[in-house]
Structure 1
Amino acid sequence: MRILFSGRPAYGHLYPLLPLARAARDAGHRVTIATGPTFVPQVAEFGFDAREAGTSIGVAEAEAVQRHPDGPVVAVMATMFADILARRTLADLGPMLEVDRPDLVIYEMSDVGAAGAARRAGIPAVSVTIGRSMPAEARGFAAPSFDWIWGGDVPADPMLGDACLDLWPAGLADPVAAAVPTRFPLRPVPWSAPAPPWTSPGRPLVYLTLGTVSFSATDVLRAAVSGLARLPVRVVVAVGPGDPAVLGPVPANVQVFRFVPQGRVLAEADLVVHHGGSGTTLGAAAHGLPQLVLPQGADQFVNAAALAAQGSGLELTGDEVTPEVIAECARTLLGEPVHRATARTLAAQIAAMPPPAAVVADLAGYATR
């Protein structure tokens, strides 16, 4: 079977696709990965057939803001994802699909132009829930913007389409994804960029990150470092593509890196303090870890609320994000057993989800039905 994966050139968008792509390749299927030019070399280094398609979210955001300088956020987002990004992806993928004729297109949910290209080529497409679906109000506002992509037959969720690979366990279920007509549960498996060698500094260990897109939240990161350093713990900080020097001098019990092998760090950690990105949220949940979430944008607020409702995490926003409050919340999560118990429930749910290798076989049946 020939499978084309398509994703935006960003860690949180593209990397969730790679474990499934690797499983498909290992099963003998021909795998191609299409993404923006900045990530093509990385994908090629991982051993995949990498093709250039689409552009970055940053480029699309700049153009959308120019079109709507005073418009509501939902208008900017609809212009980005249903117009600029989608049209660029569709234009690049359309000829590629006609030549390669894959049996299946798998796209991360924001790369909906890939679904449009697949529909025009008569190829089945399946989305991957790299994040939460749009709130109902935003979905209703944006739906007409997606009409051209789906040829007038817009699915209930215009980004997830009629079939999806759902990474969310039952305790954090996205009800919109759960209602997609054809749904394949898929165990979230981490994929980390190559990182320098890392040795655990000891325990108790707190892992702190604001992900690879921090929304310029340097002050939040500094507050978290300051608060966590007051506790009798070791703190490992990953700043992503940013410069570690932006934090300035840090206390002796804090280590700062650009990237870390997140799976290894999570295996040693006792608490994760983070932004609420889906990759970190699901990675920490898979390891049964309590989480303190400091959401900064996108669907991070929804993820934080879901963790708090499930019982394995706490959420801080706005003026609550101070060193003192962060330290107190971390002390609570490290000391009280209830959060760890509910976190272990999530870990058990994730462990019971089908792994990528098992899902590949289901997808083969879907593509040839």
Structure 2
Amino acid sequence: MRLIFTSLVSHGHLYPLLPLAVAARDAGHDVLFATGDDMRPVVEKAGLASESAGFGMREAFAAFFGPDASPPRASNGAPEEFYPVIGQVFGNVLPRRFLADLTPLLERHRPDLVVYESGNAGGAIAARLAGVPAIGHGFGRVSPGEVIDVINGRLAEFATEVGFEGAALHSYGDPVVDICPESVQSPDFLAGANRIPLRPVGWAEPGDLPPGVVGRDKSRPLIYLTLGTAFGDEDVLKRAIGGLARIDADVIVAAGPTVDPAQLGNVPANVRVEAWVPQAELLPHVDLVVHHGGSGTTLGAFGAGLPQLVLPQGADQFTNAEAVVAAGVGAQLIGGAIVEDAIHEQARTLLADEGVLGAARKLGDEVAAMPSPAEVAQRLPEFAG
């Protein structure tokens, strides 16, 4: 069976699809992954064929803010100020470009099934207009809210323009591979989705764990701090490092591509700063995750059965943080509350809270019971029609 996978051009949207794409290839299917040039090297390191489709977030936002644009973040102003721009980018600019690029690709390759990442409306629309069976693939918890409503308004206008009716972000009338455990998924999504559960399997490029992680003294907690690949903030990281370093624990910091580790200055002896770590391999060794609330890190911590302190910076991170708190597996600090003392107190409390630790382990068991990528790959032919 010929399959085309397609995702938006970012780690957070691409990585969740790779386990199923690799499992489909291993099951004997002919798999092609269509995404932007910036992410194609990641796809090819996974051993998958790739073709260029779409462009990245920076190029999309540059249409409104100029060539030095970055995705809006909480620290740059009230989130609702950016809703019109976010709506236009995700509801028009990105789907328009992906539709233009995927239409000839579908004609050339004539796949039996398209697997599109749920945030990539252009993938869903291109498949429908080409008459190719398709299924969605989620990248995390579905986050309803005002910004999604704004995106859907713009998307409905674009979809009508190109002859596609009924488009809405995360819901295009197709079955959806859902990597979020049911107990923390959006009830509204669960009520209306044709859901294909899939265990969230962390994906990371091969790499060595920082020295001292394997074989460490487990009587001393290990805390992992990251703000992800898109919303890294030097000041927030400095405050978090200051608060966490005061705990009798070791701290590993992944600065990510948006923060130069050198800009964090001299750090305490119990803190180690890395530009990047293989997160999926690190999490089983960790006792607490302090992070931005990105879907990959949130789900990774769910699967590892870990408590979380979430410091949301933008996008769906705020609703992910709310879901962490509602599930009883962590806490959140927002905006002006993200200060060193509060981070210290919340992290210290989470490391010792048996109720939170028990809830986190229970959620980890739920994730472990979800179908594996290999099991879901065996089902893909039934969706090809």
| TM-score band, normalised by shorter chain | over 0.9
5 Å-filtered alignment, 1:34-113, equals 34-65=34-65, 72-113=81-122
Q: Does 1:22 align with 2:22?
A: yes
CA pair 310-298 structure 1, distance change in 2 beyond 3 A? same
Q: Secondary structure at the match of 1:37?
A: coil
Amino acid at match of 1:158: L
1:128 corresponds in structure 2 to: 137
| Structure 1 position 175, deviation (Å) | 2.3
Match of 1:114 in 2: 123
CA gap of 1:167–1:23, structure 2 versus 1, over 3 A, is same
Which amino acid is 1:221 matched to?
Answer: L
SS of 2:169's partner is: coil
TM-score (norm 2): 0.90
TM-score, structure 1 as length reference:
0.93
CA 1:9–1:283: 2 relative to 1, 3 Å: same
Q: Residue type of the partner of 1:218?
A: E
Letter in 1 for 2:211: T
Q: Which residue of 1 aligns with 2:249?
A: 233
For residue 70 of structure 2, what is the aligned residue in structure 1?
A: none
Match of 2:187 in 1: 175
In the TM superposition, residue 152 of structure 1 has moved relative to its aligned partner by 4.4
SS in 2 for 1:38: coil
SS in 2 for 1:145: helix
**8 Å Cα contact 1:129-1:177 kept in structure 2:** no
Unaligned runs of 5+ in 2: 67-79
Residue 101 of structure 1, CA deviation: 0.7
CA RMSD after TM alignment? 2.0
Whether contact under 8 Å (2:125, 2:164) holds in the other structure is: no
Cα deviation for residue 110 of structure 1 reads: 1.7
Verify: 1:287 aligned to 2:287, yes or no. Answer: no
* Post-superposition offset of 1:72: 4.5
Q: Where does residue 149 of structure 1 map in the other structure?
A: 159
- The amino acid of 1:119's aligned partner reads R
Superposed displacement of residue 120, structure 1: 1.0
SS of residue in 2 equivalent to 1:184: strand
Equivalent residue letter for 2:315: A
- Match of residue 340 from structure 1: 357
The gaps in structure 1 that reach 5 residues or longer are none
State which drifts further: 195-204 or 170-179.
195-204
| CA drift at 1:220 | 0.8
What is the alpha-carbon distance in structure 2 between the residues aligned to residue 244 and residue 238 of structure 1?
Answer: 9
Choose which of 212, 216, 224 in structure 2 pairs with 1:207: 224
Amino acid at match of 1:365: E
**CA offset at residue 13 of structure 1?**
0.9
Quote the offset at 1:145 in angstroms: 2.4
- 1:146-170 CA deviation, whole Å, 9 max, x = no partner? 2343634214x43332221111112
Q: What displacement does 1:243 show?
A: 1.8
Greater Cα offset, 219-228 or 162-171 = 162-171
| 3-state SS of 1:179 partner | helix
Q: Which residue of 2 aligns with 1:314?
A: 331
C-alpha displacement of 1:195: 2.8
